[in-house]
Amino acid sequence: MDPWIREAAAEIAKRAPRELEALVAVSSPSGDVHGADECLAICAALLPDEAEIERVPCSSPGHADDLVARLRGTGSGKVLLLGHVDTVVAHAEHKPLRRVGEQLLGSGSVDMKGGDILAIGAVRALARRPELYEQVALLLVNDEEWRTADFAHVDRFAGFDACLCFEAGELAGEAEGVVVRRKAAGTIRVLGHGRSAHSGSAPDRGRNALLALAAAAQAVAARHDPHGPSHLTAVPTVLRAGDAFNVVPGTGELFCDLRADDLDAIERVLTAIPADVGGVRVEAELIRRWPGMHSEAHTAGLLAAASEALGRPIAGVPRGGASDASHFAAAIPVTVDGLGPRGGKAHNPDEFVLEASLQPRAEVALALILAALGG
């Protein structure tokens, strides 16, 4: 293994549990401005003095500004490190970090505050090696978990040589796994416009939005075809209708989560949703469109060079979940995701990071950065 990788990764891993504890201690669900500001203040405090730090507008209105930190060097390569500090966990369900056996368990620990800590550690290590790069940038956003607006940051990093995202890592058999392929993602929102009526004395005067939305949910679910040509998953996830147990619900809304190899397959699901069910007007819209990521060919040389520097193999793998890396992949073809620590149960109250993975995954990240910079 390259000696600098070994030494720098050991230092990152030594500090990582305490730094992760500080970051996870802050509850930061998407859209919470105070939580995001507090998280980014912690991140800024952990960055090296050499970093130029600015806050830039978030892609989503009403959110706290995102953070960009830059190191300027004397080399020639430019690499973007990418992460997010928002979580899906509401304040009431938030859990601070605690050690349970080999796990560091806490809200947002693996998705993706553990990855943020490794990225920040990498920036600290790189601050001592300015000859390696022209620029290293770190982007931390506040709206990854629930963004429906267009992503705002691609042009800001035009001309960068590589984008490395620190979502959770994994093993690929005996090799270290990193993500080089992701599905496209979409969210369908369906509104039902019916008519309320007393459910006991005049139920037939109503037009039941709940039943219409249930039919729409079935229509979406019928398109679920994970083993088909587009590997489409179509999953109704949220249904809201009605305000009282004795009233025919006149309005309601449905959300469905869809993933596929390309956005066209997701768009086609809209055509399966009926416009009218039992006199209820049904209005369907794709409110979130995330592109897929197909970086296999562009990253093969990078993974080979990084494997050599690491002294053990790094393998590119696919993953179904969405990530901000997908937004950069078209503009920065050398885009790799999944550089964070290993763990599990993302979006779950028992979400965790495996403490033993912190050093080997820091080594993987540093090897990829070094390879991307031609070191």
Q: What is the pLDDT of residues 168-211, one digit of tens each?
A: 999 999 999 999 999 999 999 999 999 999 999 999 999 999 99
d(CA 147, CA 289): 9
**DSSP 3-state of 327:** helix
Which band of pLDDT confidence, cut at 50, 70 and 90, is reported for residue 55? very high
- Considering the entire predicted model, what is its pTM? 0.90
- Any idea what the Cα angle at residue 219 is, between residues 214 and 221, rounded to 5°? 90
For the segment 96-140, what is each residue's pLDDT rounded down to a tens digit?
999 999 999 999 999 999 999 999 999 999 999 999 999 999 999
* Helices 33-46 + 3-24 axis angle, to 10: 150
Write down the pLDDT at residue 146.
Answer: 87
Which among 374, 309, 334, 328 is positioned nearest to 132, based on CA atoms?
374
Confidence of residue 248 (pLDDT cuts 50, 70, 90): very high
DSSP assignment letter at 230: T
- Note whether 104 and 355 are within 8 A (CB): yes
Q: Looking at residue 16, what is its pLDDT?
A: 98
Q: Is the pLDDT at 315 greater than 90, yes or no?
A: yes
Q: Which helix (H) or strand (E) holds 8?
A: helix 3-24
- Whose tokens are 């956003």? That residue is 141
Question: Where exactly are the structural domains of the chain?
Answer: 3-183+292-372, 184-290
At residue 240 the predicted structure's pLDDT band, cuts being 50, 70 and 90, is: very high
pLDDT at 15 over 80: yes
Q: Which of 141, 218, 220, 234 is nearest to 184 (CA)?
A: 234
Q: DSSP secondary structure string, 165-211?
A: E-S--EEETTEEEEEEEE-EEEEEEEEEE-B-EETTT-GGGSB-HHH
The answer to whether 77 and 302 are in contact (CB under 8 A) is: no
DSSP 332: S
Predicted pLDDT at 321: 80
CATH for 184-290 is 3.30.70.360
Mean pLDDT of the chain: 96
Q: Is the pLDDT of residue 298 over 90?
A: yes
Say whether pLDDT at 52 is over 80: yes
Instruction: Give 322's pLDDT tier (boundaries 50, 70, 90).
Output: confident
Alpha carbon separation from 128 to 64, 70, 82, 160, 359 (Å, rounded): 31, 14, 20, 21, 19
**pLDDT band for position 349 (cuts 50, 70, 90):** confident
Q: Give tens-digit pLDDT for 68-106.
A: 999 999 999 999 999 999 999 999 999 999 999 999 999
Q: Homologous superfamily of 3-183+292-372 in CATH?
A: Zn peptidases (3.40.630.10)
Percent of the chain with pLDDT over 90: 97
- What residues pair up with 281 in beta bridges, in sequence order? 193, 276
